[in-house]
Amino acid sequence: MKRFILISFCLSLACFVMAQGGFAEEETLPGNPSETNVRGAKYPRILSDNSAVFRIKAPEAQKVQVRIGRDYDMTRDAEGVWTATTAPLRSGFHAYSFVIDGVAFNDPGTDTFFTTGRWISAIEVPEANVDFYHIKEVPHGDVRRARYLSAESGQWRQLYIYTPPAYDADPNKKYPVLYIQHGAGENESSWSTAGKLDIIMDNLIADGKAVPMIVVMSDDYLVPDIGKGYNTPSTNAFFDMFARDLLHSIIPFVEKHYRAIPDRRHRALAGLSMGGGITFRVGLNNLDSFANVGVFSTSALRGKGEDIFDIEAQVPGLLSKPAHFNKQLDLFYISNGEQDGSYKYTIKTVETLRAHGVEVELKTFPGVHEWQVWRKALHDFAPRLFR
């Protein structure tokens, strides 16, 4: 009887495995699934030349496209499955949608990420010989979520907080803190999801390249948008509103509930794109709170026409009293993608700062306005902090 039950169980297991496509032989598919695919999803797939294959079943649709940088028309088979292969894509993170009869939809086969002002599907195209943002067999920290009451907005808001690998091991040890901001259309989750911040920090700390630190990710938006563009009265008001929330709500909350070293030498403020504009204005105008400032790929450095923005108007004294800022700042860091539209304004800004005696570090990376550049900026910036 026992032997019969065992045989029956094994036969049932074999049938289940074949049905699930487990150990049974499957059709050979090109390339590899994107690392962002949900469990069991075979598409999208990344090919050896970095092009991507997308597939979706929509038998009632009349026209289907995949929108990833541009629109690619998809072709339909007899079963109503639509397929398209893109041109080779740059390495890194790519948000995309299916456009079905004129309406954009997320792909049920992938995770979604908050970017472009909404939750959207994305794929990850690997970069050859680059692994600093890959999960490795090293001690791992945590990304925790916490809610705080904003005195500025009167609302409950959310933080994503990275704590380093040994954070829970020693209840008496305190850590420096990096406050890092997202770009336009993103939110407090973006650095830890699309940006892979926790993995980057884990690897840096394990290699002894970065000081163990807490990293706080908050939402830039206390109002729905920033108005008509950078360096306008409405934008400055938007940035200053965030500054008050950061200084009077976020930092006190973090230093009350986490083991943060509560002084300016152990605080850094950084951000990408719009978050970089926030960092420039808020960080440099509040050196009593921050001794480290990192500005990544911000279009806020542009003024009218081909000019850079009015630095002295944004940060009074930065050009006229550079010695004061040099003394107060342990690190002033600016980075950009070399094919980014904001690159020339970044270079002009740095040249202007240096011509007036401001000590600033500049780092550039191949790439456009994209997460692959910002991951590299964080990887380069974090090891320079709190030394």
Please tell me the total count of domains within the chain.
2
Residue 147 belongs to a domain: yes
Nearest to 141 by CA among 114, 190, 175: 175
pLDDT in tens, the chain (387 residues): 444 333 343 334 333 333 333 433 346 899 999 999 999 999 999 999 999 999 999 999 999 999 999 999 999 999 999 999 999 999 999 999 999 999 999 999 999 999 989 999 999 999 999 999 999 999 999 999 999 999 999 999 999 999 999 999 999 999 999 999 999 999 999 999 999 999 999 999 999 999 999 999 999 999 888 877 788 888 899 999 999 999 999 999 999 999 999 999 999 999 999 999 999 999 999 999 999 999 999 988 888 878 888 999 999 999 999 999 999 999 999 999 999 999 999 999 999 999 999 999 999 999 999 999 999 999 999 999 999
Q: Is 235 helix (H, G, I), strand (E, B) or coil?
A: helix
Residue 166 belongs to a domain: yes
What token pair was written down for 4? 């019969």
For position 147, which CATH number holds?
3.40.50.1820
106 and 150 fall within a common domain: no
Q: Which helix (H) or strand (E) holds 294?
A: strand 292-296
Give the strand pairing for 81-85 and 52-57: antiparallel
What token pair was written down for 354? 């240096």
Residue 4 belongs to a domain: no
251 and 109 fall within a common domain: no
Residue 12 belongs to a domain: no
74 and 151 fall within a common domain: no
Residue 359 belongs to a domain: yes
What pLDDT is attached to residue 230? 81
Contact 152, 179 (CB under 8 A): no
Q: Report how far Cα 247 is from the mean position of its chain's Cα atoms.
A: 23
334 and 207 fall within a common domain: yes
- What is the Cα–Cα distance from 239 to 222, expressed in whole angstroms? 9
- Compute, in degrees rounded to 10, the torsion defined by CA atoms 246, 247, 249, 253: 100
The answer to whether the peptide bond before residue 252 is cis (omega within 30 degrees of 0) is no
- What is the Cα–Cα distance from 218 to 155, expressed in whole angstroms? 14
* CA-angle at 332, arms to 326 and 333, nearest 5°: 155
303 and 361 fall within a common domain: yes
Contact 125, 92 (CB under 8 A): yes
42 and 107 fall within a common domain: yes
For position 53, which CATH number holds?
2.60.40.10
Residue 237 neighbours by CB distance under 10 Å: 13
Residue 233 belongs to a domain: yes
Q: Is 147 helix (H, G, I), strand (E, B) or coil?
A: strand
Residue after which a domain boundary falls, among 125, 151, 168: 125
117 and 243 fall within a common domain: no
Residue 163 belongs to a domain: yes
231 and 198 fall within a common domain: yes
203 and 249 fall within a common domain: yes
333 and 243 fall within a common domain: yes
120 and 153 fall within a common domain: no
The domain in which residue 301 lies consists of 142-384
Residue after which a domain boundary falls, among 97, 125, 153: 125
Residue 132 belongs to a domain: no
227 and 360 fall within a common domain: yes
- What is the Cα–Cα distance from 5 to 26, expressed in whole angstroms? 29
